[in-house]
Structure 1
Amino acid sequence: MDINSTPPDVASDFIKFVNNSPSPFHAVEEARTRLVAAGYEELKERDNWKDILKNNGKYYFTRNRSTIVAFAIGGEYKPGNGFSMAGAHTDSPCLKVKPISKKEKDGYLQVGVEPYGGGLWHTWFDRDLSVAGRVMVETKKNKFEHRLVRITRPILRIPTLAIHLDRDVREGFKFNNETHLTPLIATASKALAGNKENNEEKNVKHHPALLNVLIQELGCNAVNEIHDFELCLYDTQPSTIGGAYNEFIFSPRLDNLMMTYTVLTGLINSTKNTSESLCNDPNIRLITLFDNEEIGSTTAHGANSSLLETTLRRICNANAKTGYETIFEEAIHKSFMISADMAHAVHPNYCERYEENHRPKMNQGIVIKTNANQRYATTSATSLILRQAAKKYEVPLQEFVVRSDLPCGSTIGPMISSNLGLRTVDIGNPQLSMHSIRETAGTDDVDHAIKLFQGYFEDFAKIDENITVD
């Protein structure tokens, strides 16, 4: 390979996706934009879908604007046929602005934040931070709407203490999440001068320094037009491709926006234009990109909610004949789910932390994740289906099992599988520094995952015909 080789187009496109997605709300909007461009029609959960859904039709809907479901109905689909499904999640560990964030100490204005998920919080110190998320704005008298906001310039910083004042830091960096993980936004003297000059109204919950940048970005006329918000802190340093051979992606939120992107792109690629494979497919191809996986998924828009089940039931019943009472149950047992969440690549400096026969490497294929205690939903029967799809499309696969003396994480796979009685396999692309503010993955694996998902959507029904598990 040429040392100055150009990274794959799909890796560059993924970089655009993740840079445009500093919050789950932005990730869903980016996914929605791509689905609309691919001819997907928006549905509303509050509407009746009866007689709307058609064979060869492509549809999507959002819930809370942080979860999105998209599906395409095969040309040969009949009520009671199966679903070819894949799921990922749109959220990542981050710091979130508290409902009352206003803090001031020793001449500094600070913003109170709360950790979301299990982040490596020490990596958030000394980074150029800003905020992104959604704001509830009053547009007219008693009329409100959800608006996305993203401040692109760094406005926040969590500084470390100088080594001269903490010699013990060499032995281990210890800090308190409540008192030490609090970003600066301004100096009190500058803020006071600015407030006098602008004659700004006093806000008891948030500093004017924060609110002013929000109203400027949103085009609001006054602070009182902002009624509430959900803001994530994010690193303003863009994602990029690096390494001597352009083989690495250095980025925030790889867990799990890489799998979100590849699941989404695989579905879109499998349904482009009047795809012959979709016209001949007896199944429905469906993806679910959930919020809140990092905090356990037990929310109205998480994977442990009724969202997926109610969606599948509504699709099954939309054009079913009256009295067909077991249509959903029949469909479930003809269906399959790929739970897609990033996996651990072997770390060369800590290789002893990995099981000796299960050490995945970046750029060498997608990882099948297995756990005897079912922290992952993979079984021999479900991994076989995945292997058949990968074999046809020449996608390399790897295996991961956690060491027996270490705890194992989990995914949306086991909860979806157990809630629905659904065949499920857990997979993911290998990465380093999972849950850090900057993570590392391989450029080739973006293409590997897209090919696998596209092939799976196109061929699952055929593959499943040749596998018998009673």
Structure 2
Amino acid sequence: MSIAASTEVSAAAQRFVTFLNRAVTPFHAISELSKHLKSDGFNELRESEDWKLQPNGKYYVTKNNSTIFAFAIGGEFKPGSGVSMIVGHTDSPSLRIKPISTESSAKFLQVGVSTYGGGTWRSWFDRDLAVAGELTYKRDGHLHRQLVDSKDAILCIPNLAIHLEADREKTTFNKEVELRPILCSEALAKLQGNEAINSPGGGPNILEDHHPIFLRYLGRLANCEPEEIVDLDLYLYDSHQAAITGLFKEFISGQRLDNLVGAYTCMEGLLESLADNSLTKDSNIRIAAAYDNEEVGSSSAQGAESNFNEWCLRRIFNNLGDSQASLFERGIGRSMIISADQAHAQHPNYPARHEDNHRPAFHGGVVVKINHNQRYATTSTTHSILKEIAYSAGVPLQQFVVRNDMACGSTVGPMLATKLAIRTVDVGCPQLAMHSIREFADTSSIIYAIRLYIEFYRRFPTVIEDFKP
């Protein structure tokens, strides 16, 4: 029986889809991953507090509620030991509510949005859009953060009728003025109470920045009064849930596959690698991390280009070390990162867009991404190590190389390889429609990735010790 049709594949894919439907924003993704870690015995740390770490301990720390860094310390860790690290990212291209969002036209109330990342924005038209994110409110002199999720569709961006297009064969739109979602009609807004909200004074609020009826709605979601709201960070998303689809239920259809597949599978790989007693005999630290803001370059405090990773690693090494110097630098030589970000499967309608000898396929296994101009961080050394681990895990590997006449994307892999001077390999699961509001992947990739990552965590210290570069 093909792996794609196995019950194990279906069960793993369904668990991922359940996570995906809850992780509607980076904030919600971190909330869900934190719950998984806590239920498995991980202890939460805070940046601003002292860390007390010990071998065989399991810990995690978050930043901005949108980035997470989880680690389990090997029982045989000693000064000079390294890290076995897998990373992904939590963000995806999206429309986000502007700081001042009051828009109206043709007797409709609209919401101003900013484009985030390189989305296929035409796919956002004619979708039932929900809104979710994080809201900050002030009560009793204190600021509070609250996750919110409408779940229901409250916004829509209707297409222009084909009859009104200047050129029916080539439809275009302006992202600033023609990508504004409709919230409601002015008539119903007036009936339902869109009158101004009185400010109590004495504190910050955003009453003048958004439609009153929208703020009242958000206040109900957050269990606060609209005049208490100080700020918000909200994303639009497709309210139709991700699903397992296809004649043989072999595909995953949904938003945010890029890159919640990577974020989820690296965490699951870490958790499942701890199911046996291998951690007690491990000399390395096993790390799974997922960062925010990759889709816009990672240049943020919670992005992979920040010093957050180095500071976490140095704190761990210093906490576990003795008076010996250069523990971090020594450990890097026994370390490796897998950068897990989605990969382009060959599109059946556009086969010429792929390089002739590098055509990743569904159910073909995890994709290794290679670029000789260093848009990906894979080297011959890291590729060889991964091949050995994949062979041991029984996971097939594919390879992706972009055509010479096309631009190549990138990942957090080259950033981390550069900042940390650590050996890195770029991989991903194959998918179609990347950056669309409805992306398309295969079910077997989930379990292939998890199996590969489990084996990496368990075997990398032995492989690198025996490897003679």
- 1:60-112 CA-partner distances (Å, limit 9, x unpaired): 01000000000000010112200000110000000000000011112010000
The one-letter code matched in structure 1 to 2:192 is G
Q: Answer yes or no: is 1:315 the counterpart of 2:316.
A: yes
Once residues 145 and 130 of structure 2 are traced to their aligned partners in structure 1, the CA distance between those partners, rounded to angstroms, is: 20
Q: Would the aligned equivalents of 2:84 and 2:457 in 1 still touch at CA under 8 Å? A: yes
Does the CA contact (< 8 Å) of 1:185 and 1:209 recur in 2?
Answer: no
CA-CA distance at 1:214 after TM superposition: 1.1
Instruction: Check conservation: 1:5, 1:246, Cα contact below 8 A.
Output: no
1:176-225 per-residue CA deviation (whole Å, 9 max, x = no partner) reads 110000000011111111117x88548321012221221111222x2111
Distance, in Å, in 1 between the alignment partners of 2:400 and 2:6 is 30
2:209 alignment partner in structure 1: 205
Q: For residues 62 and 311 of structure 2, what CA distance do their matches in structure 1 show?
A: 14
Letter in 2 for 1:276: N
Distance 1:161 1:356 in 2: 39
Aligned 8 A contact 1:5 1:245 in 2: no
1:194 pairs, out of 192, 204, 220, with 192
Q: Which residue of 2 aligns with 1:424?
A: 424
- Tell me if structure 2 keeps the 8 A contact 1:79–1:317: no
Q: Is the CA contact 1:74–1:278 (under 8 Å) kept in the aligned structure 2?
A: yes
1:26 and 2:31 correspond: no
1:231 aligns with 2:234: yes
> Match for residue 386 of structure 1?
386
Query: Aligned residue pairs: how many?
Result: 460
Q: Which residue of 2 aligns with 1:13?
A: 15
Match for 2:66: what amino acid? Answer: S
Which residue number corresponds to residue 158 of structure 1?
157
Task: Tell me what 2:117 maps to.
Answer: 117
Partner of 2:349: 349
Q: Could you tell me how far apart the structure 1 residues matched to 2:170 and 2:241 are?
A: 29
Q: How does 1:432-447 map to 2 (within 5 A)?
A: 432-447=432-447
Indicate yes or no: 2:169 matched with 1:178.
no
Deviations 1:285-342 (A, max 9, x none): 01110000000001001000001011110000003212x2211110111110000100
Whole-angstrom CA distance in 1 between matches of 2:155 and 2:18? 23
CA contact (8 A) 1:359 1:399 kept: yes
The secondary structure found in structure 2 opposite 1:102 is strand
SS in 1 for 2:389: helix
Aligned residue identity for 1:218 = A
Is contact 1:108–1:186 with CA below 8 Å preserved after alignment?
A: yes
SS in 2 for 1:338: strand
Instruction: Give the Cα separation in 1 of the matches to 2:381 and 2:251.
Output: 33
Once the two structures are superposed, the pairs formed by residues 74-93 of structure 1 within 5 Å of their partners are 74-93=74-93
What does the per-residue CA deviation read over 1:226-263, in whole Å, with 9 as the maximum and x for residues that have no partner? 11010000000000001111110001000000111100
For residues 106 and 198 of structure 2, what CA distance do their matches in structure 1 show? 23
AA at the equivalent of 1:166:
E
Unmatched runs of 5 consecutive residues or more in structure 2: 200-206
Q: Does 1:214 align with 2:218?
A: yes
2:299 is matched with which residue?
298
Amino acid at match of 2:305: N
Instruction: Name the residue aligned to 1:132.
Output: 132
SS in 2 for 1:164: helix
* Alpha-carbon separation, structure 1, partners of 2:214 and 2:78: 54
Letter of the 1:171 partner, please give it.
E
Structure 1 counterpart of 2:203: none
| Alpha-carbon distance, 1:173 to partner | 2.2
Distance between the aligned counterparts of 2:353 and 2:190, measured in 1?
Answer: 52
TM-score of the superposed pair, with normalisation by structure 1:
0.96
How much is the aligned-residue C-alpha RMSD, in angstroms?
Answer: 1.6
SS state at 1:71 partner: strand
Separation in 1 of the partners of 2:232 and 2:24? 15
Q: Name the amino acid aligned to 1:155.
A: I
Cα contact 2:196–2:212 (8 A) shared by 1: no
% same residue: 47
Aligned to 1:149: 148
Contact 1:97 1:112 in 2 (8 A): yes
Q: Does 1:247 align with 2:250?
A: yes
What residue ranges of structure 1 are gaps of 5+ in the alignment? none
TM-score by length of 2: 0.96
Match of 2:66 in 1: 66
Check the 8 A contact 2:198/2:227 in 1, yes or no.
no
Q: After superposition, what is the alpha-carbon deviation per residue over 1:352-404, rounded to whole angstroms, capped at 9, x for unaligned?
A: 01001000001110000000101000000001111111000100100000000
Give me the whole-angstrom Cα distance separating, in 2, the residues matched to 1:243 and 1:47.
Answer: 49
